[in-house]
Amino acid sequence: MMLALLLGLSFNTWAQTMEVSGVVLDDQKMGIPGASVIIKGTTTGTATDIDGKFFINVDKGQVLVISFVGFKSQELTMDGKTHFDVVLENSAIGLDEVVAIGYGAVKKSDLTGSVASLDSDKLTEMRKTDVGQAIQGQIAGVDVRRVSSKPGAPLSIKIRGNTVITNTNVDNDGVTNDLSRDLSKPLYVVDGIFLDDISIIDPSNIKKMDILKDASATAIYGSRGANGVVIVTTKSGIEGKTVFTYDGSFGITSAVNRPDMMDGDEYVQFVKDGVRGKKWRTLWETENPLAEDFDNIDITEELESQFRSSNGETDNIANKRYTDWTKEFLNTAIQTSHSVGMSGGQNGMVYNASIGYLKDEGVIGIEKYERYTAAVSLSKKVTDQITVGIRTNLAYSEREEGSRELWRSLHRMAPTVSPYDENGDPVLFPDDQESRFLNPYYDANGSWEVNTRRTDVIANFYVDYKPVEWFSFKSTFAPNLRTIRLGEYRSLKTKAARNQQSRTRSIYNTMFDNSYSWDNIANFDFKPFEDHKLKATLISSLYYNQIEGSNIQVRNLDSDSYSFYNTAGGDDVRERDSYYTKQTLASFAARVNYNIKEKYLFTFTGRYDGSSKLAEGEKWTFFPSAAFAWRVSEEDFMQDFSWLDNLKVRLSYGEAGNDAPVKPYASMAFLSNSGYLFGNSTATGKTVENLSNEKLTWERSKEYNFGLNIGILNNRVRLDAELYQKDTDGGILNRELMYITGYSSAVGNYGELRNKGIELVLNTVNVRTDDFSWETSINFAKNKNEILKLADGVDQFLYGKYGILRVGESVDAIYGYEKDGIWQMSEAAEAKTYGAVPGMYKIVDQDGDGAITGDKDKVVLGSNSPDWIGGITNNFRYKDFDMNVMVYTRQGAYGHSEFYEHHSPEDTNTSFNRVDRNYWTPTNQNGDVQLPGIRPSYGNTFFTEMSFVKVGNIGLGYNVPKSILNKWNISKVRLSLDVQNPFTFSDYKGPDPETGLQNSYNMGYSLKTVLFGLKVTL
């Protein structure tokens, strides 16, 4: 080693050193602060100061590389000149941008895999508070879906479709809304630390986000990268320049796209129709009624019980004194955020520190989300060869979800009853007819709390040792400590407790999730031949995760004053447990990048992974990948095509594994407690809980990716296209078992799955003048998901409530009866053969046997996965003003609407209000919803398409001109006004097609925020 060091030093000794200075300017001749000035081939360099100036000692003959994100790099050869004015050209394409590829980075031009990137500007442009929201609609093939609109709710992020055949939570169609149990979510790597949730990161603290999509790109993460990898690099300081920033916002949040519920008159009519509807079906048993007979059905008696005088309901109706429950309890809410940052450095020490605060209130009840964040990064160049550093992110958040029933209750309460009595005091049970329905007034005022407090500490300590130019070694230790406390209290005055003490409930759950990873990375950088470059990376990585926690639930609390803080206050113990799980992963990986003449690029990656969760003897496996890229535009024969700036084709193949679908210990069979009483003495009992699986091993995905990057017309038009096919073998799934076995399901490597798709990104600079520019970015992605195999001899399972897993169909397939309109009066005779009467849905008799029978007439109706997703962002700039408009869409997603099930008129329950849909009656035969009063007799029919187009953001920004700021010695002031989520276009009648799969229990409104922002950089 000493020899090498001497060799390294010896290169420098004969050089002739001089000091040069310069200023780096943008195309408007404004100084660029923080631009990097590096001596080519070394790590020595500096950064420009606030005015764009720099000073550096160089040797004659050396080359300075000046670069800054968003600009084309420039190289200056030191020929003796000591001052340079450098004007950097805007780089729309960013080929020199550095892209994180996991355990290293490459120039974008050298990429062989499929990687999409977003920089800080893009991420913060719309001032979204959550990273998921910030990338929604922006990246082809990344499907970001809001699963709940309540403040602080995490978002579902899927890269290239659903890669997992069965999720652990199959309550709703197999689609997981509990994101902690979503198995097809990507791996998040924040500064080298593995996370499964990035909601704790403040988007304004992110410098860059790189999303690895194809298997060759993710291969370096082996088994952890099967669902794609999101690499987040947070901000760090720049030596020689101290920068202070303030970034704040204040906004008003309100509900948009509120469902159109029936008003009082409509509701009264609906009740009448519903009560008649109940009698309509049996009327057909004995006679053939005419349409006009419907209105003659005697409902006097029923109406008396539907509308009762005891709570003034009959008076209310007589005087048309109606209550709009949804409006009555709607608030306008505040969203505000502040963050303060400081960065800089000198003498080899750089630092960046920031603290942030966010408050986001909901529009009903006590919903609220608050987040405090702090980030510190520090690095010190100890010697020329050794750099040590630490990066930490701390986050503390509190999320109050409020009542889970409030939203649903408000949409159910009849407009004919009132929340208040004549004195203006709240009535305990506003509707006599529904004695279960306690006044939502109390829920709205906080009688039901669902409170999550969470602390995250993520840190990364590293030592970087670079003894010689061609070799470096880095060791990284990254602990991640997470504590989550969920407290829930349902007091007497909640719909859940109905003012009965025995039903009050207190829940207190804690979880400690501690993990670390320890990575050792060796990088080799050779030039074996002229024009050939070889970069090799060797990695050993250990990952350890340990989760422990406890859950307590008690009922019958003797006081409401405890909230959830005293579970001893209740004597009916329903849950008390504690648990421990541990999982470990050991990995060895290697990657070789080979570059010939900057034209032919090869990447080979292999990773050997061992996972504790898999069966004995099945724990270790190897995942290889290879990729090739050809920069066609760099070929000599292409130089005549001056309009073509960039043409690159890429081809890759990679294998990736996945053990996420299994929990620790999944291969073993356990005993579960099944106690019993004999007489009154307790007897301990045990039953076998599940089948063991001694062959449980890795599920393996094999992915081909073809990519194309084209830039023309001075890179003003750029097209990126990706085409891929990903086959998953040995797909781990929870195979449903026949009841005869005594077990409900068994975990194993049974399935095969294919995802294939296309992703297109088109970026255009439509106009670019000194004063005005207009840029458009369009992305489109289509993914088709298909089950190739389920298990030997089995080609279908019913899945969740409405789902099916069937060979040839999507994993997210929805299974049910197909509706073909409504039986009309003229079709009564035919309807009768199916046991139906006019006004009922006409169910398609798929097998034509003249009867509707479960297993023969149900079909796959659609899929929760969208046919395609896309987004368009337009950015305009006029002088110091800029504007952005972002629109995104999910098309073809189909699902079961819990909202319709609870709030659509076709039900026998007429004591709840309903959404105003056009329902059929014999006197309104154009209705497209079944006659109220007849609950669909062929099972559930609340299926619907949930396609939508949403305007995600309209934003206006103003940068105070530097000419003004310079007087105050302020480098940047930006004012902005954003309208987030202003419009939704959809045929869906629920509150939000994006959250359409969600149960209306615990639902929230779709929210619009008008946000004023201020950003100051000193």
Site for other proteins in 136-165 (CB under 8 A): none
Binding to other proteins (CB under 8 A): which residues in 928-967?
937, 939
Place of tokens 């079906």: 281
Residue whose C-alpha is closest to residue 355's, from 370, 344, 332, 371: 371
CA distance 117 to 98: 10
Q: Which of 278, 381, 591, 648 binds other proteins (CB under 8 A)?
A: 278
CA-derived radius of gyration, the chain: 32
Binding to other proteins (CB under 8 A): which residues in 584-603?
584-586, 588
Q: Does 679 bind other proteins (CB under 8 A)?
A: yes
Binding to other proteins (CB under 8 A): which residues in 480-509?
500, 502-503
Binding to other proteins (CB under 8 A): which residues in 767-826?
791, 793-798
- SS3 for 282? helix
Q: Does 522 bind other proteins (CB under 8 A)?
A: yes
CA distance 630 to 420: 73
> How many other C-beta atoms lie within 10 A of the C-beta of residue 101?
26
Q: What angle do CA 895, 896, 900 make, to 5 degrees?
A: 130
Q: Does 453 bind other proteins (CB under 8 A)?
A: no
Q: Does 534 bind other proteins (CB under 8 A)?
A: no
Residue 561's contacts (CB-CB under 8 Å, 6 or more residues apart) are: none
x-or-dash pattern for other proteins, window 687-716, by CB under 8 A?
A: xx--x-------------------------
Query: What tokens were used for 975?
Result: 């004012």
CB hemisphere CA count around 239 (13 angstroms): 17
Query: What tokens were used for 878?
Result: 């006029």
Q: Which of 55, 579, 878, 1001 binds other proteins (CB under 8 A)?
A: 579
Q: Does 677 bind other proteins (CB under 8 A)?
A: yes
Instruction: Give DSSP secondary structure letters for 956-1006.
Output: EEEEPPHHHHHHHT--EEEEEEEEEEEEEE-S--SS-GGGTTS-STT---E
Q: Which stretch binds other proteins (CB under 8 A): 148-156, 197-205, 466-474, 599-607?
A: 466-474
Q: Does 835 bind other proteins (CB under 8 A)?
A: yes
Under 8 Å between Cβ of 269 and 277: no
Spell out where 597-716 has E strands.
Answer: 600-611, 620-631, 644-658, 671-673, 676-678, 681-683, 686-688, 699-712
- SS3 for 512? strand
For residue 358, the minimal CB distance to other proteins (Å) is 36
- SS3 for 907? coil
Q: Does 518 bind other proteins (CB under 8 A)?
A: yes
Q: Which stretch binds other proteins (CB under 8 A): 169-177, 685-693, 899-907, 1001-1009?
A: 685-693
For residue 582, the minimal CB distance to other proteins (Å) is 5
For residue 473, the minimal CB distance to other proteins (Å) is 7
Q: CA torsion sign, 269 to 275 to 278 to 280?
A: negative
Q: Which of 394, 534, 669, 949 binds other proteins (CB under 8 A)?
A: 669
| Choice between 190 and 733, CB closer to other proteins | 733
For residue 168, the minimal CB distance to other proteins (Å) is 17
Residue type at 554? V
Q: Which of 84, 372, 743, 983 binds other proteins (CB under 8 A)?
A: 743
Q: CA torsion sign, 659 to 661 to 667 to 673?
A: positive
CA distances from 682 to 670, 671, 674, 685, 1007 (A): 22, 18, 11, 9, 53
For residue 795, the minimal CB distance to other proteins (Å) is 7
Q: Which stretch binds other proteins (CB under 8 A): 400-408, 583-591, 778-786, 968-976?
A: 583-591
Q: What angle do CA 225, 228, 232 make, to 5 degrees?
A: 95
Binding to other proteins (CB under 8 A): which residues in 68-107?
none
Q: Which of 347, 684, 926, 969 binds other proteins (CB under 8 A)?
A: 684
Q: Which of 423, 676, 829, 926 binds other proteins (CB under 8 A)?
A: 676
x-or-dash pattern for other proteins, window 310-339, by CB under 8 A?
A: x-----------------------------
For residue 435, the minimal CB distance to other proteins (Å) is 6
CA distance 844 to 943: 15
Q: Does 739 bind other proteins (CB under 8 A)?
A: yes
Query: What tokens were used for 15?
Result: 């050089």
Q: Does 63 bind other proteins (CB under 8 A)?
A: no
Q: Does 288 bind other proteins (CB under 8 A)?
A: no
For residue 724, the minimal CB distance to other proteins (Å) is 31
Under 8 Å between Cβ of 426 and 439: yes
Q: Which of 611, 810, 863, 995 binds other proteins (CB under 8 A)?
A: 611
Under 8 Å between Cβ of 84 and 192: no
Q: Does 759 bind other proteins (CB under 8 A)?
A: no
Q: Which stretch binds other proteins (CB under 8 A): 247-255, 608-616, 701-709, 967-975?
A: 608-616
Q: Which stretch binds other proteins (CB under 8 A): 150-158, 199-207, 743-751, 913-921?
A: 743-751
Q: Does 832 bind other proteins (CB under 8 A)?
A: no
CA distance 835 to 999: 31
For strands 187-190 and 229-234, give the pairing.
parallel
Residue whose C-alpha is closest to residue 475's, from 535, 541, 534: 541
x-or-dash pattern for other proteins, window 846-865, by CB under 8 A?
A: -------xxx----------
Q: Which stretch binds other proteins (CB under 8 A): 373-381, 538-546, 941-949, 976-984?
A: 538-546
Binding to other proteins (CB under 8 A): which residues in 426-445?
435
